[in-house]
């Protein structure tokens, strides 16, 4: 009976820690059109080789703006012989990253093959390939890169075309990163770590200074959690001592 009781106690501690950790996580969405703020997508080698897709009159590739995130996307095509490589780069502080593109199928006059490399902190960590089908049409909210196992910290991401001799179409829509609310730059961070996570903030790149309330909340929450664990540990040891008293002289 004693081992059973013991594993039950361990379970309680686990739930306590899991609840504490989950409550601090928060998603931040950054649209391709964001120009200012803490996290801004940079278009390389310069904006001149990128089009604001929804405003591009000369582009053959015309997704429906009402189906794109916030109605916008950035459009560029890599041509292996042109001597430049369009890329997207950004730096963020987080523990997960999700990048979303629009992909296209057969469009007369345009290359719609998409082949991307993902370079995280100078290391190539992923690749996404879309081979167009003969049927016309677009796919929206295509998750081209997901990483949910990052070390919480500052990371640099570079999205670039794979140079395999093919033209590469890039239709970048938005990305989402997961950050810790207690170090978040968002002003909507929950002040208490025991409350459920606040809803995702969109276009959060607007606030740039750390939220003191959120940090204080995180610290207070952390102290409260430690005190709770200490109290439960104390109760557990006391209970165990009482239960084990008749057998202690055998140990
Ligand atoms: C963040 O967004 C991703 C993608 O939509 C989702 O899978 C994940 O559960 C979200 N995480 C949090 C902490 O809300
Ligand atoms: C896109 O075009 C609309 C009008 O067609 C204009 O109001 C808007 O400023 C343009 N956006 C950018 C980022 O150039
Ligand atoms: C893609 O996701 C965005 C944001 O969640 C939404 O506004 C849009 O309607 C979605 N588009 C499609 C085609 O599902
Ligand atoms: C793409 O569609 C056009 C008609 O719109 C068709 O003539 C052409 O063969 C198609 N291309 C491919 C690669 O299937
Ligand atoms: C996720 O990010 C970590 C760096 O924190 C990296 O080591 C790992 O390879 C990445 N995983 C994927 C699937 O990109
Ligand atoms: C959506 O675009 C408008 C400009 O058209 C901008 O003011 C707003 O901040 C954008 N929202 C998000 C969530 O990026």
Of 203, 204, 205, 207, best ligand 6 pocket probe by most atoms within 8 Å of the beta carbon: 203
Pocket of ligand 2 (CB under 6 A): 52, 55
CB atoms within 10 A of CB 96: 16
DSSP string for 87-123: EEEEEEEESEEEEEEEEE---TTS---EEEEEEETTE
Please state whether 153 falls in left (phi above 0), alpha (psi between -120 and 50) or beta: left
CATH topology of domain 25-208: Jelly Rolls (2.60.120)
Of 150, 157, 178, best ligand 5 pocket probe by most atoms within 8 Å of the beta carbon: 150
Per residue of the chain (251 residues), what is the pLDDT tens digit? 444 444 444 444 444 454 444 448 999 999 999 999 999 999 999 999 999 999 999 899 999 999 999 999 999 999 999 999 999 999 999 999 999 999 999 998 899 999 999 999 999 999 999 999 998 899 999 999 999 999 999 999 999 999 999 999 999 999 999 998 874 444 443 444 444 444 444 444 433 334 444 444 444 455 455 444 554 554 455 555 545 444 444 44
* Residue keyed to tokens 């057969």: 106
Nearest alpha-carbon partner for 92 in 169, 142, 147: 147
Three-state secondary structure call for residue 24: coil
147 C-alpha to ligand 5 centroid (Å): 6
Q: Whose Cα sits closest to atom 9 in ligand 5? A: 125
Query: Of the ligands numbered here, which is closest to the C-alpha atom of 65?
Result: 3
- The reply to whether the predicted model has a pTM over 0.75 is no
């Amino acid at each position: 009976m004693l081992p059973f009781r013991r594993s039950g106690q361990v379970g309680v501690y686990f739930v306590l820690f899991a609840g504490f950790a989950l409550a601090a996580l928060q998603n931040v969405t950054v649209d391709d059109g964001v120009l200012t703020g803490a996290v801004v997508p940079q278009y390389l080698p310069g904006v001149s080789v990128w089009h604001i897709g929804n405003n591009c009159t000369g582009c053959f590739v015309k997704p429906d703006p009402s189906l794109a995130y916030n109605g916008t996307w950035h459009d560029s095509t890599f041509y292996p012989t042109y001597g430049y490589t369009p890329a997207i780069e950004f730096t963020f502080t987080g523990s997960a990253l999700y990048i979303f593109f629009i992909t296209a199928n057969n469009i007369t006059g345009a290359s719609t093959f998409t082949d991307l490399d993902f370079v995280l902190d100078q290391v190539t960590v992923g690749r996404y390939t879309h081979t167009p089908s003969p049927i016309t049409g677009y796919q929206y909210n295509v998750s081209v890169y997901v990483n949910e196992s990052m070390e919480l910290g500052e990371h640099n991401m570079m999205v670039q075309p794979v140079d395999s001799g093919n033209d590469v179409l890039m239709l970048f829509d938005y990305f989402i990163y997961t950050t810790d609310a207690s170090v978040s730059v968002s002003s909507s961070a929950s002040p208490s770590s025991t409350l459920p996570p606040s809803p995702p903030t969109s276009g959060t790149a607007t606030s740039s200074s750390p939220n003191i309330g959120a940090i204080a909340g995180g610290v207070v929450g952390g102290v409260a959690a430690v005190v709770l664990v200490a109290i439960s540990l104390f109760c557990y040891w006391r209970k165990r001592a009482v239960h084990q008293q008749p057998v202690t002289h055998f140990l």
